[in-house]
Amino acid sequence: MLEIDPNNADVRYLLGTIAYQVGKHQTAIELLDRALATKPRFAEALSMRGNALQALNRQQEALASFDEALSIHPEFADALCNRGSALQALKRYPEALASYDKALSIRPDLAVALSNRGNVLHALKRYDEALASYDKALSISADYADALNNRAALLRDLKRHEEALACYDKALAIKPDFTLVHLNRAHVLLDLKRAADAIAAYQKALQHGANAEEINYELAALGIGSVPTAPPPAYIADLFDRYADSFDEHLVRTLKYQTPKQLLDQLTRFCRSHDLDVLDLGCGTGLLGPLVRPLARPLTGVDLSANMLKKAAERRVYDDLIQSELTQFLATRENSFDLAVAADVFIYLGDLTTVFAGLQRALRRGGWFSYSVEATDSGTFVLMPAGRYRHSAAYCEKLACDHGFAVTQIEPTAIRHENGVDVNGYLLLMQRL
């Protein structure tokens, strides 16, 4: 057919759709653009183009493509549903919800819109409505594995772990190679303290294509395989991107987190200056920022998570916020800071050798390094089942000695309250020689 009419927009649309379905998203966009060049008011091609853009995480462009499709065909339910998905990815939740609702007013049986609507309601913490939306999707399509996975995630957040597990098991009975469900099932088995079953589930996830580096990290935390010196950066970035919206409330209210204040109290007992170049390592949402701001001439925050940095920017206390892995950032700076602070950052790093080497470079002589760790009596560091590292005081002292730091104080403390008990740690203050 292409030989007969190489400019046939319908053929280009069909080829673009096939390319999208087999994961060739950039090729799909190119084919769809060519279809639209000869048939600009082609709503279906614009909507499919939006899907391909969204698959490449080009959400704003996807949204524009969906909007253009809807300007041609306002009652296009699939485009309204896909538009809701783009808005959801942009965290524009009320608009996403309105888009899903409009799609459902046109096609009440559109199960994907109901499931995605449930995800938005989940994000808005409207849990009963979210559960009802998932249940309605499943009443229309009982074998909808994605909806079962989404429903299980909500049940897990509600601490209804056995129900969540049953949902995951049902999803896998329908779609045995559903990698994400194998992974999520492993997480909920850990919640239920069924470590052996969790290990088997992680290994299943690995067999079905889950990220090997991330799964091996999870398995190492459960005592299987060698302990990595750090988790995969993408794992940490994704964890905190997802956690950003609820981070402050969970940490401060639930875990009674006081480490930023404790570190500042320790620091001000020894450091009297209020004119320092300050670096907040792993700044997260910026909980430490307002506390350390009075000491800072400029205040720089560094974090791996883009969503965490957006929250930190809302505090309006940082002069500069940089998205970077910590050791990579430190390698680019020399004699730049008078104080570096890291509040509960190293629970996500095992071997701190590179951090200390970077700080030796980045701090000026006489500069201070203030940080916290979870405590262990082991020789160096251990990876706990929860996926966090603990460090010994002896290890921290050796690192200081090896990298030209004098230990000012190592203060035992409870750094947070978790599962009804205090988590023991150390507040450490060191000075570069």
CB 262 within 8 A of CB 428: no
**pLDDT score recorded for residue 1:** 42
95 φ, ψ (degrees, to nearest 5): -65, -40
pLDDT tens column, 237-268: 787 777 666 665 655 555 567 888 999 999 99
Dist. CA 148–CA 128, nearest whole Å: 16
Dist. CA 133–CA 117, nearest whole Å: 7
pLDDT tens column, 51-62: 999 999 999 999
**pLDDT score recorded for residue 2:** 44
For the range 162-169, what are the long-range contacts, defined as Cβ-Cβ under 8 Å and sequence gap of 24 or more?
Answer: 162/192, 164/188, 165/189, 165/192
**pLDDT score recorded for residue 252:** 57
Q: Which two tokens stand for residue 110?
A: 């559109």
**pLDDT score recorded for residue 236:** 81
**pLDDT score recorded for residue 249:** 63
**pLDDT score recorded for residue 372:** 96
**pLDDT score recorded for residue 258:** 82
Averaged pLDDT for residues 218-233: 90
- Specify the amino acid at residue 115: S
The residue with greater pLDDT, 252 or 66, is 66
Averaged pLDDT for residues 95-100: 98
Q: Which of helix, strand or coil describes residue 221?
A: helix
**pLDDT score recorded for residue 330:** 96
**pLDDT score recorded for residue 34:** 94
Averaged pLDDT for residues 133-154: 97
**pLDDT score recorded for residue 238:** 80
Averaged pLDDT for residues 12-41: 94
Q: What is the residue-averaged pLDDT of the chain?
A: 92
Q: Which two tokens stand for residue 314?
A: 């809302």
Q: Which two tokens stand for residue 40?
A: 């600009």
**pLDDT score recorded for residue 36:** 95
pLDDT at position 165 over 80: yes
Only one residue has tokens 């791996």, namely: 304
**pLDDT score recorded for residue 255:** 52
Q: Tell me the C-alpha to C-alpha distance, in Å, between residue 98 and each of 61, 85, 113, 172.
A: 20, 11, 11, 31
Hey, what CATH class is 238-432 in? alpha beta
pLDDT tens column, 77-94: 999 999 999 999 999 999
Nearest CA-CA partner of 76 in 117, 45, 53: 45
**pLDDT score recorded for residue 279:** 97
- Supply the DSSP string of 136-160, one letter for each residue: HHHHH-TT-HHHHHHHHHHHHHTT-
The residue with greater pLDDT, 382 or 416, is 382
Dist. CA 283–CA 300, nearest whole Å: 9
Dist. CA 84–CA 174, nearest whole Å: 26
Between the CA atoms of 199, 205, 207 and 208, what dihedral angle is there, to the nearest 10 degrees? 170
Q: Which of 194-198, 214-218, 419-423 has the lowest mean pLDDT?
A: 419-423
Q: Where in the chain are the domains?
A: 238-432
Averaged pLDDT for residues 377-393: 92
**pLDDT score recorded for residue 398:** 97
Q: Tell me the C-alpha to C-alpha distance, in Å, between residue 181 and each of 196, 351, 357, 386, 410.
A: 17, 31, 40, 19, 43
255 φ, ψ (degrees, to nearest 5): -95, 0
pLDDT at position 232 over 90: no
**pLDDT score recorded for residue 352:** 97
pLDDT tens column, 318-364: 999 999 999 999 999 999 999 999 999 999 999 999 999 999 999 99
The residue with greater pLDDT, 417 or 111, is 111
Per DSSP, 245 falls in state G
pTM for this one? 0.84
